[in-house]
Amino acid sequence: MTSAAAPFGRALCAMITPFSPTGDSLDLPGAQKLADHLVSSGCEGLVLNGTTGESPTTTDAEKSALVRAVREAVGPGVPVLTGVGSANTAHTVELARAAELAGADGLLVVSPYYSRPPQAAIEAHFRRVADAVGIPVMLYDIPGRTGVRIEPDTMLRLAEHPRITAVKDCANDLLGSAKVISRTGLAYYSGSEETNLPLRAVGGAGFVSTVANAAPRALRAALDAYDRGDVAAATRHHQRTLPLVELMMAAGLPGTVTTKALLGALGLPAGPVREPLQPAATEVADGLLTAYGELVRQS
């Protein structure tokens, strides 16, 4: 399931955080049910408490509780990573240590946001976190949300740290990513579904996907075909996912909102989103369900 090139597996889901019907508490049994469903549907690893997991609106205690519950549900053989990023280095270190104690196999650490630190400060931040724990770190490069990029040259330096092993890549810079992949042992995971196949083709490890909450088999099929050497089939599988990817990720609503709408329509645990996010309208959910059904039919 894992290898040196893909230390957490290839097909990872950026899992939502199911909430109670009122949204004021976690639905831990629902999270366990969803985690088990995702693994049985082809996900090789799970990433909790990230952007899709609504980490800005969950408490530190809720983050740890979710890790413990999912760890119990999927057992020790499935990699479980968790987001510990914040705008505060000291708080990020606290979250990282708590995640390790809760049973996480790895950490997803986003660039410090809002304050827009320079590259030297970003590098120091990641090193502080990696120095504080004994489990691997996946850097999360998503400048569209954080306001800052982890520049390729910074990645090259950070790759020297023994616990910084992977990158969730949402920078949309294939040249920069290919440069780092070619010169380091960092495992690059696509964080944008439209780049899943292109990144794999230049040496990427796989994906960390929001859309995998709903369609893990379809997304994984493209990687499986590519790894078999059937590039034409990989391209077909990849292209079939694009209508659903566009509706879920590029139609004006956050991916968390569209994912929870679709999972609810499919009868899977989800619950509401927490404010400031707002639920999707009924017609949005209907459109997502139609696109999902078409993808299933073609697969």
Give the catalytic positions in this structure.
140, 168
What does the block give as tokens for 188? 């690059």
Q: What are the φ/ψ torsions at residue 192 (nearest 5 degrees)?
A: -130, 115
Which residue from 64, 84, 61, 79 is spatially nearest to 133, judged by alpha carbons? Answer: 84
Which residue from 143, 167, 117 is spatially nearest to 8, judged by alpha carbons? Answer: 167
Residues sharing a CB contact under 8 Å with residue 277, sequence separation 6 or more, in sequence order: 54, 57, 254, 256, 257
Q: What is the distance between the alpha carbons of residues 110 and 61, in angstroms, rounded to a whole number?
A: 19
Residues sharing a CB contact under 8 Å with residue 299, sequence separation 6 or more, in sequence order: 217, 218, 221, 237, 240
